[in-house]
Structure 1
């Protein structure tokens, strides 16, 4: 879509039909370039300065950015004999799937039969919201989400606490939030990634049978660093 051909007054008239800002922002993010979104806001608010600032995406859009990465490394059915987590499908264990189905008053079934809709709901509820990723800035929220998925929510929070020098109690409370604010979201995201890499090597030293997974783990960590660098070229990162 050419930016010169967009009639922003018509676009505004269309999006004003949406009563929820999140829904309008998500549709914008999917259909326009960052420059076009910025100019949309310029016309919407009547503030010329906004033309140079891409607005923040809503939390649902942040979740989409986060899951887009994680999905690459949690896709498909896996039942490796050396994996202590047992069988998983799209990164979701049988125990997690059982608990989620029961919480919805649905009969338990094998994780191999999990639906796409269930996968997204579980990741959003059990990791994005439970891990409080929605309270963190871009790109830290992406890294924290993937860490919560890969290490569990408790593990994800302790990685974050280690990075900011707080007590690693797995509770994301006021003290940890205060410490987080002393860093830029991008700087802290990188610190967590490097801590993950360090932990991978330590884990293999402690349990040599896990060496079969090491290269895959490191590939994921390094890909995450590259991913957030790319994200920050297109979206406003703190």
Structure 2
């Protein structure tokens, strides 16, 4: 059932990079896409930045699977849609990613992907869902006050996610 998690995680990590502690980033200190706040919340309550920098692959996999992949029910989504929703969740939060996916398929936007959302996803074109989701994601990012600082990278990321997700959907 979880056929695509490892592939999706490797694609996400290619976008996330390594260590970052940019004062302009509201997420703060981040290692491979995991913020210090989330590392403390999900792995080690009293973690320091040094602990975060030393995050193990197992800890990384646990955070991504439990709090992003599972939150968007990645294992139940079609190929390509799973990756697009997962990357969106990592970058902008799983609740937002779920609501935008629900909007893309005309489901009730409650932020929880359940049977009704999955039925709507499965009834729609994977390619159309990916395009609508990426379009809405980019529009959201463009409205953020940090767009002038991070917009170029976000634009490139969403473009790469769209291309990769569409390729996965067509396999």
Fold agreement, TM-score > 0.5: yes
Shift of 1:107: 6.2
Consecutive unaligned residues in structure 2, runs of 5 or more: none
Q: Alignment partner for residue 88 of structure 1, among 13, 30, 37?
A: 30
* Whole-angstrom CA distance in 2 between matches of 1:210 and 1:231: 28
Given that 1:101 and 1:107 are in contact with CA atoms closer than 8 Å, whether structure 2 keeps it comes out as no
1:110-163 per-position Cα deviation (integer Å, ceiling 9, x unaligned): 312211221112111211122211111111111111111111110110110121
Residue aligning to 1:230:
167
State which of 44, 47, 53 in structure 2 corresponds to 1:108. 47
- Any conservation in 1 of the 2:78–2:169 contact (CA below 8 Å)? no
Give me the whole-angstrom Cα distance separating, in 2, the residues matched to 1:177 and 1:231.
Answer: 18
Where 2:11 maps in the other structure, the secondary structure is helix
Q: How far apart are 1:218 and its partner, in Å? A: 0.4
Pick the aligned partner of 2:118 from 177, 182, 187: 177
Query: How far apart, in 2, do the equivalents of 1:173 and 1:229 lie?
Result: 23
Q: Distance in 2 between matches of 1:224 and 1:136?
A: 16
Identify the structure with bigger relative contact order (alpha carbons < 8 Å, sequence gap 6+): 2
Describe how 1:181-196 pairs up with structure 2 within 5 A.
181-196=122-137
1:70 aligns to 2:12 (yes or no): yes
TM-score for both structures, normalised by structure 2: 0.88
Pair member with larger Rg: 1
Counterparts of 2:119 and 2:110, CA distance in 1: 15
| Residues 161 and 176, structure 1, Cα contact 8 Å, conserved in 2 | yes
Q: d(CA) in 2 for partners of 1:72 and 1:119?
A: 14
- Residues 215 and 92 of structure 1, relative CA distance in 2, 3 Å threshold: same
Relative to structure 1, the CA distance from residue 184 to residue 211 in structure 2 (aligned partners, 3 Å threshold; closer, same or farther) is: same
Aligned residues: 169
